[in-house]
Amino acid sequence: MILVVAYDEDHALGVVRRLESAGREVVRIDLADFPARGAITIDYAAGGEPAHLLTPPTGHVRLDRCRVAWWRRVRPFTVDGAVGAPRDQLFAAGETGQALHGLLHSLDCTWVNPPALDSMAHHKPYQWAVARRVGLTLPRTLVTNEPERARRFIGEVGVGRTVFKAFVAATEDAWRETRLVKAEYLDRLDSVRFAPVIFQEFVPGADLRVTVVGDRVFAAEIDASATSYPVDMRMVVGEATVKPVALPASVTRALLRLMRALGLVYGAVDLRRRPDGQYMFFEVNPAGQWLFVEERTGLPITAEVASLLSRLDDRGEPAGAARPMAGRTA
């Protein structure tokens, strides 16, 4: 059985449909259903194996036969509205986390990605440290909530040559694009004291979204340099030129080393190739999207995610064997 931990989003649904059409038994759960709309039972009966039972709105789910689990995208727990006090709501959510995460971690299955490692890998400073160790190159970067340090950095790199960005660029109610520091922003730098900000040297060139699925590497070039907003390709991906490309073997090897060092099986990596040919690493998103690349390039990423989960369900091969395939469309 394949367990999919994800809410109702198009990437997860596309993979689930492909798995089900191939005859696989798939169960999808949304963490936001618990505990208000779903039940959790862990039964340690005398003399037998423990029973792991979840009851989301769709019905009873026995997890004992789960052999592979896909930790795709999750939402916070939902506490019953009858629990009125904020303190009690926090307690109920915390107790749910202890029970549900404990149940999931106890399953004898292979995770894509292991939830604890997935959570760690979402932290950019940790990614950057590991990326440097495996041989990837980062832009000049400063993280600070000290306004004077920010001013010095911008003074050294240059106004119009420095970008600033948030650690979490997208939430359900806000989008925070990467922006160039302009002269009129300098008077607002005192606000940096309220929360750390990422400042980086702007890197000209073409973006690359590199989707790593197990041992396969799918690379797509997204050239936003001639669009209305070349600073952040995510804002203008519909205007950009998107095409599959082959990465240099050295970059592919470094990315696979990064994934293994982070403990990730799946990840969406953002790079930028400078005009001189050097590749700069920005980040890896352990739950990054790929459909916008697949639809523009034909790279079979959905099929490969489903294939990986199927292979693991069969226990036919480990998740991280080295078989890099950069930019392949077959």
Q: Clarify whether residues 174 and 97 are in a common domain.
A: no
Claim to verify: residue 214 and residue 307 sit in the same structural domain:
yes
**Is 74 within a domain?**
yes
Break the chain down into helix, strand, coil percent, rounded to 5.
35, 25, 40
* 328 in a structural domain: no
Residues 6 and 62 in one domain: yes
Tell me, what's the pLDDT at 227?
A: 87
- Count of CB atoms situated within 10 Å of the CB of 168: 10
The predicted model scores a pTM of 0.90
- The domain that holds 152 is classified in CATH as 3.30.1490
Q: Are the CB atoms for 218 and 255 separated by under 8 Å?
A: no
**Domain closes at, from 108, 127, 153:** 108
- Asked if residue 306 and residue 213 are part of one domain, the reply reads yes
DSSP element (H, E) containing 267: strand 266-273
Residues in the chain: 330
The pLDDT assigned to 16 comes to 98
Q: Which helix (H) or strand (E) holds 142?
A: strand 141-144
From CA 317, how far away is CA 264, in angstroms rounded? 16
What pLDDT was estimated at residue 326? 36
* Contact (Cβ atoms closer than 8 angstroms) between residue 323 and residue 216: yes
- The last residue of a domain, from among 183, 201, 219: 201
pLDDT of residue 168: 87
pLDDT at 324: 36
Dihedral pair phi/psi, residue 142, rounded to 5°: -135, 130
Q: Which of 59, 87, 108 is the last residue of a domain?
A: 108
Please check whether residue 318 is in contact with residue 310, taking contact to mean a CB–CB distance below 8 angstroms.
Answer: no
- Averages of pLDDT over runs of 10 residues in the chain (330 residues) are 95 97 96 97 84 92 93 96 95 97 94 96 97 98 98 96 89 77 94 97 96 97 89 88 96 98 98 96 97 97 98 70 34
Range of the domain at 178: 140-201
If DSSP codes are grouped into helix, strand and coil, which group holds residue 150? Answer: helix
For position 319, what pLDDT does the model report? 52
Peptide bond into 113 cis (omega under 30): yes
For residue 133, tell me if it sits in a domain.
no
